[in-house]
Each structure stands twice: as structure tokens, then as C-alpha cells.
């Protein structure tokens, strides 16, 4: 298992649309393993392949308190979303230190393949539902800041670019 570098906003690669996984093979299983290691190392609750510059439809999530219940979603699709919405503060491993309110469906049903290639449908609500929607947005080339006003988005972009410049000087 390798810790992969996570792309940081406003990297244009975060806006690439991910392609469907053609086969759940050893390469994809290795990617899943590396993504889980990367997510746990970064203390996140979700990670999309797009964030590690792999543009295939793979997501890993673990919202458990003990951090021992990984969920793997390959080629995920939302097959049902509740009309009821919730607004919660979201953060992102690709936008470190930034949190803001985003409106999401409070519950979703997601169909996907697991790490063995077995199809399943997951019924999620609360934090898991929000996390699934957030990570699946990454597969479409969307970052949570895209939901914010242009003013907020530009402030975040400026702050992130400044942090990246300072990090390269250090």
C-alpha cells in the first residue's frame, strides 16, 4: 500500500471527468488499497480516484468512528435521492482547512461494484449520504467549492494558491 499524493484545488486535473472502470482487476484492487491508505493517512472520510490523479470511477469511504469499516464504490451511480435536503459544513482533502455549507439530499441509494466486482445497492442517510454525494461529485469533475458563490470560490482559490506558493518556498 502506497500513500498517494492528493491534488489540491485549484489544480485543473480535479475538474476532469472520470471514466468507468472496465474490469475490477488486480490494478483496480491495488488502487483501492492505496486510496484507503491515503485516505486514512490524511484523516479523511472519503477519497475519489480523481483526487489522486487517476481518472476512473473509484471512491473509498469510511465514516465509522473506529475507522475500520471501509466502503468501496466502483462505477457508482445514484439511483434515488430524497427530496429532503440538508445543508452541512463540508471539507475536502483537496481543499485543506476550508469548510463551508453545501446543500445535499439527506438520503440516497447508490448502486456500485465493490472491491471484488460484486454489484450492490447501498441505502445511505446522514453523513454517509453526504459523503457519497461529495465523492461522486469528484468523479464528475466537481469540487465542493463549485457550489459556493463566485466571491467565496475566488477567495478560496487565492488562499490555496498562496498556501501552495509558501509550501514550495519552504
Q: Which of 56, 90, 115, 135 is catalytic?
A: 135
Query: Known binder of ligand: residue 138?
Result: yes
Q: Quote the CA–CA distance of 157 and 14 in Å, as a whole number.
A: 13
Q: Is 134 annotated as a binding residue?
A: yes
Confirm whether pTM is higher than 0.85. yes
Q: What is the mean pLDDT of residues 44-64?
A: 98
Name the pLDDT band for 167 (thresholds 50, 70, 90): confident
Tell me 25's DSSP state.
-
CA distance 56 to 49: 6
pLDDT surpasses 80 at 122: yes
Distance between CA atoms of residues 91 and 111, nearest Å: 24
Q: Is 55 annotated as a binding residue?
A: no
What is the arithmetic mean of pLDDT over 90-102?
A: 97
22 in helix, strand or coil?
coil
What is the predicted pLDDT for the residue at 117?
Answer: 97
Report helix, strand or coil for 30. helix
Q: Parse the chain into domains and list their residue ranges.
A: 12-169
Q: Which CATH superfamily is domain 12-169 in?
A: Peptide deformylase (3.90.45.10)
d(CA 109, CA 9): 28
Confidence tier at 150 by pLDDT (50, 70, 90): very high
Question: Within 10 A of 68 (CB to CB), how many other CB atoms are there?
Answer: 8
Active site residue 135: yes
- Residue of 57, 33, 41, 56 lying closest to 6 (CA atoms): 41
The C-alpha atoms of residue 104 and residue 132 are separated, in whole angstroms, by 10
- The whole-number pLDDT of residue 76 equals 98
* Mean pLDDT to the nearest integer, 87-99: 96
- Residues 128, 129, 135, 136, CA torsion sign: positive
∠ CA(157), CA(86), CA(16), 5° rounding? 40
Amino acid at each position: 500500500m502506497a500513500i498517494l499524493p492528493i491534488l489540491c484545488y485549484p489544480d485543473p486535473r480535479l475538474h476532469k471527468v472520470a471514466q468507468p472502470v472496465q474490469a475490477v482487476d488486480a490494478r483496480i484492487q491495488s488502487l483501492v488499497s492505496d486510496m484507503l491508505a491515503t485516505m486514512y493517512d490524511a484523516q479523511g472520510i472519503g477519497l475519489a480516484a480523481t483526487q489522486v490523479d487517476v481518472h476512473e470511477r473509484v471512491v473509498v469511504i469510511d465514516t465509522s468512528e473506529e475507522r475500520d469499516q471501509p466502503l468501496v464504490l466502483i462505477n457508482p451511480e445514484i439511483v434515488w435521492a430524497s427530496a429532503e435536503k440538508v445543508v452541512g459544513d463540508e471539507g475536502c482533502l483537496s481543499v485543506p482547512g476550508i469548510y463551508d455549507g453545501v446543500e445535499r439530499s439527506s438520503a440516497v441509494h447508490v448502486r456500485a461494484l465493490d472491491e471484488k466486482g460484486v454489484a450492490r445497492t447501498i441505502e445511505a442517510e446522514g453523513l454517509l449520504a453526504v459523503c457519497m454525494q461529495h465523492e461522486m461529485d469528484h468523479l464528475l469533475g466537481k469540487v465542493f467549492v463549485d457550489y459556493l458563490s463566485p466571491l467565496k470560490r475566488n477567495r478560496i482559490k487565492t488562499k490555496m494558491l498562496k498556501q501552495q506558493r509558501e509550501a514550495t518556498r519552504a
